A and B are shown apart, each in its own frame.
Chain A
């Protein structure tokens, strides 16, 4: 089986400082990988390198494209990479405002990605927008409102609908549940789990929240100072942490 994403020795430096270095892994279809670590450990740098937002200084990121199989996304041309970005990839930002057009209606936000892949029939675009808003539990009567009128949790759900409408195969998520109240967070987790199960979505989720990772991710990577210090199946890493930092991280979780 071909991996969906093959990451080999990816490194990114900010001058003399290490962003992230020596990161290698294979991600297979239907797998969810969690990346945890403290602030400044290189999680978001890594995610941005993988999603083509940053150019890594070293290494290769190969994606299993529909047409040509494994292609290095770092050396491919900008138009090709942008095409991937709006078809097979999706990027869910921590702050929904970064991933939405705030001055365009909710329906327009969802429809934009469809139009980017050549959907032109207004009725059909609107129908899929309604369908996806429904899946993230936003009722149809919100479709013509701008996201500025939405609550934070609704904006985040709208961002997810916008990202998933084109049926991506790989979703990058940067703190998708950060700043949401626990009830909305639970609903989002359920939604994401359902999507992974139903459409075989693969995802890389960067988060601080070990509870989110435990429920959502099959695999886990722990980062510190730009290095991956521990990786494995989520419950192996969380139930039997080997590295001192992972042990600290696991023991720091508040119990309800």
Chain B
């Protein structure tokens, strides 16, 4: 993956399958998200996001009033999965992430922070993207759900997904990361 970033300078990152990266200390790590492929045209990036590059952000941004089940199954529907199958996968993921079934038909905008993050993770993992970007996926989770998310990351690695993640949680980092990158060295002003 070739990265060129407007603010943080240029560098190359080679993310191989099975590699997990850890980018500590906030500086610049958020800005790395979509900075890949500088010269790409918008439509190539749109297609890339739709089919190749999954992204789990820290914040859930959804159309209000849309049910949690529909929010989670949307990435599957956009990639052409039949509706019933997409809903089944969404149900499995939500159940696995301990979102109680009575919440499935409600919009996640009214959920607690931890629930929203789990909905976000379910959405990000619904479609088996070959590459994934995770922005502090375990930040606001209790130990039980944290373990489930880490297991999901490990499974994604096992199926061959390349993952770049931001982890402040040192234990989670050690559990799932194969390589670490300190973005402190890219901080503007300290670059060589």
Contact = CB atoms under 8 A, between A and B. Distances in A.
Contacts of A235: 34
B63 A240 contact: no
Contact of B63 (A31, A186, A232, A242): A186
A26 B43 CA distance: 9
B144 interface: no
Given A31-B43, A233-B46, A214 B61 contact: yes
Contacts of A240: 6-7, 31
B25 interface: no
Contacts of B77: 197
Contacts of B139: none
B42 interface: yes
A183 B77 CA distance: 24
A215 B61 contact: yes
A28 interface: yes
Interface in B47-66: 61-66
A122 to B, nearest CB: 32
A110 B43 CA distance: 33
Contacts of B43: 1, 26, 28, 31
Nearest to A216: B63
A189 B63 contact: yes
A51 B64 CA distance: 30
The binding surface of chain A is classed by DSSP as: helix
Given A197-B77, A215-B61, A219-B42, A236 B34 contact: yes
A193 B65 CA distance: 13
How many B residues are at the interface, by size bracket? Answer: 10 to 19
Contact of B34 (A31, A193, A219, A233): A233
A182 interface: yes
A183 B42 contact: no
B42 A190 contact: no
Given A189-B63, A197-B77, A232 B42 contact: yes
A28 B42 CA distance: 10
A233 B45 contact: yes
B185 interface: no
Closest A-B pairs by Cβ, 8 of them = A186-B64, A186-B65, A28-B43, A189-B63, A218-B46, A190-B63, A215-B63, A219-B42
Interface of B: 6-7, 31, 34, 42-43, 45-46, 61-66, 74, 77-78
Interface of A: 1, 26, 28, 31, 182-183, 186-187, 189-190, 193, 197, 214-215, 218-219, 232-233, 235-236, 240, 242
Given A186-B66, A197-B78, A233-B42, 9 more contacts: A31-B43, A31-B46, A186-B64, A189-B64, A193-B63, A218-B42, A219-B42, A233-B46, A240-B31
28 contacts: A26-B43, A31-B42, A31-B43, A182-B64, A183-B65, A186-B63, A186-B64, A186-B65, A186-B66, A189-B63, A189-B64, A197-B74, A197-B77, A214-B61, A215-B61, A215-B62, A215-B63, A219-B42, A219-B46, A232-B42, A233-B34, A233-B42, A233-B45, A233-B46, A235-B34, A236-B34, A240-B31, A242-B6
